[in-house]
Structures are given as structure tokens and as C-alpha cells.
């Protein structure tokens, strides 16, 4: 009996102290969001008359393991392809969040950067592939940064709400790109631009060969490098420290001698540059043209990726991997089960919902820690 009390005391003490640390609470919250989302998703699957365990296993199979075991790596390549752009849009949102800014204009920045990449790829198609690819990537980054400059200036100089300006810039991007495509690089179809050639595309033969024809491309490596660079800037440089300080408290940062307005502007420009790189990844990597009048939804998906990843680079990598896996696996289960094709969207929405409600989850974990702390004290008295 005494051993059981001691074991119970040890467990209570561990739980109480583990969730006493705010870092552990912040780390646990997104995992709990994912678990709760999957549990509610399982209830919905049961209501549809299917086995949730089988459905979830087939989602993973359809995204990753089916290709590994059957010798067809195209599905794995397609999953990595979906993950790539989500990493970049998630990083763009997360970088702005670190400075206390909400860059909801990633979609517009992504579209404008992608347009410039396609435009240059079409106009300079005779250049050698390494040179033309590099130019396309650079102009895409520049285009995204340029599109983020407007909300950055207005926020830094006049404290105009960046959310409103970014939404307006999204619509401006759609119609300005619409005009520029029609007047400069319109294809034989009225709904899309001319297609970039192989020299401008981020696709390379050796990657397509490894992944059995999948269009997964060099942007996968660019996304991983970008995540590492963002982590290094935020965690290992004075500039990153100042950005985070401005994000925590503008007035305190200003009092400490930091250039608040300059940091706000630079944060927006860097965030926009990453969004422009996402545009290159999507428009000259995934697809090879611009569809007129369409704002890419991946920019808004980046908000969810960043939120679930706690606005950290490596958290973004994990959450982008989860969303990419679910999206690609969803296409596979639609062919196997009598379920609506929107099920994966519902599942992703549930995860996002509980991630947004992370304050409630954190509050619950704090209460759990307090409860087990009290229980540990009572057990201590029993042992004595």
C-alpha cells in the first residue's frame, strides 16, 4: 500500500512540476490540439459508418508508406510538394508574428512574387537553367518584399492597422496581376499566362526520376534552408532579438533604444520576401503558369501552419508536414471510402480551431499542474 502511495506521489509530483514550466505548457498545447482534432474527427468517421483507425492508417499510407512499400514514390513526392509551399507561407506569417505583426497579406505577396518569376521565366527563356532559375527566385523574393513594403510603411510610420491594409493589397495583387498577364504574357487561353519552360522551372530531372514522375522540386531544399535561416536570425542574432523585443512591447523596446519603426518595416519586408519565395515555389515549381483572377489560398493556410507551429521555424516544419500529409492522404481515401471529399478539410479545420483555442488548453494544463501539486502535498502528509 505504501509503495502505491509513493508511486502515486511520484507521478503527481512529476505532472505538477512538468506543467509548471511555461515552455512545457506551450509545447504540449499544439499536440493536444492535434489529438483532440483527431478524436472528434474519429467520432465523425464513426457517424459516417467507417472505421476511424482504418481511415487514419490509409491517410498515412496514401501520403507516404504506400509508395515506399509498393515501389512507387510519386505519392511521397506529391506529399513533399504540398508541404514545401506550406513551410514557406507558414514561415512568412511566423516571422511577422514575432514582431507583433499579423501579415494576412501573404497570399497577395506570394501571387505578385510568383508573377514576376513567371514573367522573367517567359521573357528570358533562352538563358541557361542555373542562371534563369536564380534570377526567377530573386525577382520573386523582391516582388514579395515590395508588396509587403506598403503595409510595412503604413504600420511603421502611421500605425495604420496592417490587417486592413494587407487585405486590400491582396485584392490589388489579384487585379494588377490580372492586367499585367493579359497585356504581357497571356497564353492562347484567356484564363492563364504563358507557361514557363524547363530552364525557368524549379523542377529537375534527377528529382523527378527519384520520385517516379512527381513534380517535387528544388524548392523543397529552399524551404528547409529558409527555415534554418529564420531560426538563426531570430535566435542567434541581435537583429532577431530586437525584432522579438519589439513584438513583445513597442514602448519598452523604444525606451531601450531600439529603432521600433525600422524593425517593423524590416520585419514586413523579410516576411514578404519569404512569401515571394513561396510564390516561386508554387508558380515555377508546382504549376508553371499564372491563373488569372485567382488568389492562392496557401497564403491563408500559412496562418494555420504558423499558429499550430507556435510561430517557430521548426514548429512550422512539423505543422506543415502534418497538413501536407492530411491533404495528400485525403485524395487517396476519397477513392476508398464512402465519405465526403471535404472530410480532410473538416479535420484540418478542427485542428486549427483547437490550436486557436490554445489559451483554453494552456489554462487547463495550469489547472492540472495545480491540482497535482495539491495532490502531491496531500500524499506527502499521508506518507508521514
**Distance separating alpha carbons of residues 250 and 289, to the nearest angstrom:** 41
> Which residue has better confidence, 4 or 112?
112
**Distance separating alpha carbons of residues 59 and 53, to the nearest angstrom:** 10
> Which residue has better confidence, 176 or 380?
176
Over the chain, what is the mean pLDDT? 87
Lowest-confidence region among 23-32, 88-97, 152-161, 273-282: 23-32
What is the model's pLDDT at position 369?
Answer: 67
Query: What cell does 39 get?
Result: 478524436
Q: What is the pLDDT of residues 299-324, one digit of tens each?
A: 999 998 998 898 999 999 999 999 99
Alpha-carbon distances, residue 14 vs 1, 76, 224, 256, 298 (angstroms): 20, 40, 36, 39, 41
Say yes or no to pLDDT of 256 above 60: yes
**Distance separating alpha carbons of residues 205 and 155, to the nearest angstrom:** 44
Q: What is the pLDDT of residues 363-376, one digit of tens each?
A: 777 677 677 666 65
Provide, rounded to the nearest whole percent, the portion of the chain with pLDDT above 90: 58
Q: What is the pLDDT of residues 46-99, one digit of tens each?
A: 998 889 998 888 888 877 766 555 556 888 888 899 999 999 999 999 999 988
Q: Model's pTM, two decimal places?
A: 0.91
Q: What is the pLDDT of residues 32-49, one digit of tens each?
A: 888 989 999 999 999 988
What is the model's pLDDT at position 16?
Answer: 58
Lowest-confidence region among 101-110, 274-283, 358-367: 358-367
The 3-state DSSP class for residue 382 equals: helix
Amino acid at each position: 500500500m505504501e509503495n502505491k502511495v509513493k508511486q502515486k506521489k511520484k507521478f503527481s509530483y512529476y505532472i505538477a512540476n512538468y506543467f509548471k514550466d511555461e515552455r512545457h505548457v506551450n509545447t504540449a498545447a499544439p499536440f493536444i490540439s492535434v489529438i483532440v482534432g483527431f478524436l472528434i474527427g474519429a467520432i465523425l468517421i464513426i457517424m459516417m459508418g467507417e472505421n476511424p483507425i482504418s481511415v487514419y492508417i490509409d491517410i498515412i499510407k496514401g501520403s507516404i508508406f504506400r509508395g515506399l512499400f509498393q515501389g512507387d514514390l510519386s505519392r511521397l513526392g506529391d506529399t513533399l510538394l504540398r508541404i514545401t509551399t506550406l513551410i514557406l507561407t507558414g514561415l512568412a506569417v511566423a516571422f511577422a508574428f514575432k514582431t507583433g505583426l499579423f501579415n494576412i497579406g501573404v497570399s497577395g505577396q506570394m501571387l505578385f512574387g510568383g508573377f514576376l518569376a513567371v514573367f522573367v521565366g517567359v521573357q528570358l527563356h533562352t538563358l541557361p537553367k542555373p542562371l534563369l532559375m536564380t534570377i526567377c527566385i530573386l525577382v520573386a523574393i523582391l516582388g514579395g518584399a515590395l508588396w509587403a513594403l506598403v503595409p510595412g510603411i503604413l504600420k511603421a510610420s502611421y500605425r495604420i492597422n496592417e490587417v486592413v491594409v494587407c487585405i486590400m493589397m491582396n485584392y490589388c495583387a489579384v487585379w494588377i496581376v490580372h492586367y499585367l498577364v493579359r497585356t504581357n504574357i497571356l497564353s492562347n487561353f484567356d484564363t492563364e499566362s504563358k507557361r514557363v519552360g524547363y530552364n525557368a522551372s524549379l523542377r529537375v530531372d534527377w528529382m523527378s526520376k527519384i520520385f517516379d514522375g512527381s513534380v517535387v522540386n528544388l524548392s523543397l531544399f529552399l524551404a528547409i534552408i529558409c527555415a534554418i535561416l529564420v531560426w538563426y536570425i531570430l535566435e542567434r542574432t541581435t537583429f532577431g532579438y530586437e525584432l522579438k523585443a519589439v513584438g513583445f512591447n513597442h514602448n519598452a523596446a523604444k525606451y531601450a533604444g531600439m529603432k521600433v519603426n525600422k524593425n517593423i518595416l524590416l520585419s514586413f519586408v523579410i516576411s514578404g520576401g519569404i512569401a515571394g519565395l513561396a510564390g516561386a515555389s508554387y508558380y515555377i515549381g508546382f504549376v508553371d503558369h499564372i491563373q488569372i483572377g485567382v488568389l492562392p489560398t496557401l497564403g491563408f493556410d500559412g496562418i494555420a501552419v504558423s499558429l499550430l507551429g507556435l510561430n517557430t521555424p521548426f514548429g512550422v516544419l512539423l505543422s506543415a508536414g502534418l497538413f501536407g500529409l492530411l491533404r495528400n492522404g485525403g485524395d487517396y481515401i476519397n477513392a476508398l471510402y464512402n465519405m465526403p471529399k471535404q472530410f480532410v478539410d473538416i479535420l484540418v479545420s478542427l485542428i486549427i480551431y483547437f490550436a486557436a483555442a490554445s489559451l483554453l488548453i494552456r489554462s487547463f494544463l495550469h489547472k492540472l499542474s495545480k491540482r497535482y501539486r495539491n495532490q502531491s502535498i496531500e500524499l506527502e502528509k499521508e506518507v508521514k
